């Protein structure tokens, strides 16, 4: 499992056969331009060099598993340079745990009346602040892009949470530099981001509620996005990176915001292609 990468000063190129197999399995990666693909390959090798993969519940890590996860995890930070640069966004953790199926984890929630509810939740991925990322391999394999229905990509989802967490907690707003969106301070940039996200989130939730209760047209994003702003951001990131063309049509107010952030345009300019 690419163990030869760890401990080396400079990460060598990933074997061509392995790289081509990964691009074939996840076509949204292969659709990027030549310069992006070269940078993606280089950062993927560095990611494999820096991180430790662990199989749990009887799962065995292979080159295919590690490379598939690494390449998708790197995509969101490919052009990020402010306030952190590239893989620095992921420098607060080392471990990635891969399991053979969804797992059940205990949860505790307090409702509006103050009543404590304890329950078990089935999850296919989880990101912990300053801690490891857990992923279900069968669901990783499903992340290549769906022809119909909502986009589902658990790797991008959990690593979007990791990016979000660098701002403290999971509120749907990653840390932003001064100057983002033309705002003089990081605080103003944060307020602008949250206002734009909140409006899109409210519209999404309304559409989801109408679809569920009254048989209206369901939204394109997965319904899990309606559970919180943090989940809305992560689910939106899945769609943004897997199908940017449709994302621009379905989420016209978020596309410029995400372009400005993920393409490294800290001044809020848009352009290029994800």
CATH code of the domain covering residue 219: 3.40.390
The confidence score (pLDDT) of residue 9 equals: 62
CATH number (domain holding residue 29): 1.10.472.150
Together in a domain, 214 and 176: yes
Together in a domain, 99 and 211: no
Number of structural domains the chain divides into: 2
Domain ends where: 169, 191, 211?
169
pLDDT digits over 41-66, tens only? 999 999 999 999 999 999 999 999 99
pLDDT digits over 127-186, tens only? 999 999 999 999 999 998 765 678 899 999 999 999 999 988 899 999 999 899 899 999
Together in a domain, 164 and 178: no
Domain ends where: 169, 187, 204?
169
| pLDDT: which is higher, 113 or 263 | 263
Together in a domain, 22 and 55: yes
For the residues of 214-269, what is the DSSP string, one character each?
Answer: H--PPPSS-GGGGG-HHHHHHHHHHHHHH-HHHHHHH-TTHHHHHHHHHTT-TTS-
The confidence score (pLDDT) of residue 142 equals: 93
- Note whether 56 and 97 are within 8 A (CB): yes
Rounded Cα gap, residues 257 and 182, in angstroms: 12
Together in a domain, 18 and 56: yes
The confidence score (pLDDT) of residue 173 equals: 96
Rounded Cα gap, residues 138 and 135, in angstroms: 9
Together in a domain, 194 and 251: yes
The confidence score (pLDDT) of residue 271 equals: 36
Together in a domain, 178 and 164: no
Going by pLDDT thresholds of 50, 70 and 90, the confidence category of residue 106 is confident
Together in a domain, 149 and 28: yes
For residues 226-238, average pLDDT: 97
Going by pLDDT thresholds of 50, 70 and 90, the confidence category of residue 119 is confident
Is the peptide bond prior to 174 cis by the omega test (within 30 degrees of 0)?
A: no
pLDDT digits over 143-154, tens only? 987 656 788 999
Together in a domain, 207 and 133: no
Domain residues for 266? 171-274
pTM assigned to the model: 0.90
For residues 226-237, average pLDDT: 97
Together in a domain, 101 and 218: no
Rounded Cα gap, residues 126 and 133, in angstroms: 6
Domain ends where: 110, 135, 169?
169
The confidence score (pLDDT) of residue 148 equals: 65
Share of residues in the chain with pLDDT > 70 (%) = 89
For residues 27-31, average pLDDT: 96
Together in a domain, 123 and 177: no
The confidence score (pLDDT) of residue 269 equals: 42
Q: How many CB atoms lie within 10 A of CB 61?
A: 20
Residue 34 has pLDDT above 60, yes or no: yes
Together in a domain, 160 and 177: no
């Amino acid at each position: 499992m690419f163990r030869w990468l760890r401990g080396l000063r400079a990460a060598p190129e990933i074997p061509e056969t392995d790289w081509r197999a990964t691009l074939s399995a996840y076509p949204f990666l292969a659709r990027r331009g030549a310069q992006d693909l070269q940078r993606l390959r280089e950062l993927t090798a560095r990611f494999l060099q820096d991180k430790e993969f662990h199989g749990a519940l009887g799962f065995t890590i292979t080159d295919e598993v590690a490379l598939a996860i690494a390449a998708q995890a790197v995509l969101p930070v490919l052009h990020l340079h402010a306030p952190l640069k590239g893989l620095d966004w992921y420098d607060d953790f080392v471990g990635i745990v891969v399991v053979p199926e969804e797992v059940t984890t205990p949860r505790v929630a307090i409702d509006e009346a103050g009543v404590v509810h304890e329950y078990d939740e089935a999850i296919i991925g989880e990101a912990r602040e300053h801690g490891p990322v857990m992923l279900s391999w069968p669901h990783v394999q499903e992340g290549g892009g769906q022809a119909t229905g909502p986009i589902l990509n658990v790797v991008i989802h959990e690593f979007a949470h990791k990016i979000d967490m660098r701002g403290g907690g999971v509120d749907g707003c990653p840390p932003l530099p001064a100057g983002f969106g033309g705002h003089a301070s990081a605080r103003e940039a944060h307020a602008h981001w949250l206002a734009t996200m909140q409006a899109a989130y409210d519209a999404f939730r309304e559409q989801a509620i109408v679809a569920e209760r009254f048989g209206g047209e369901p939204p394109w994003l997965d319904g899990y996005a309606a559970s919180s702003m943090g989940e809305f951001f992560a689910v939106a990131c899945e769609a943004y990176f897997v199908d940017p063309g449709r994302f621009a049509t379905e989420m016209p107010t978020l596309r410029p915001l995400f372009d400005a952030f993920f393409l490294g345009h800290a001044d809020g300019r848009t352009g290029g292609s994800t």
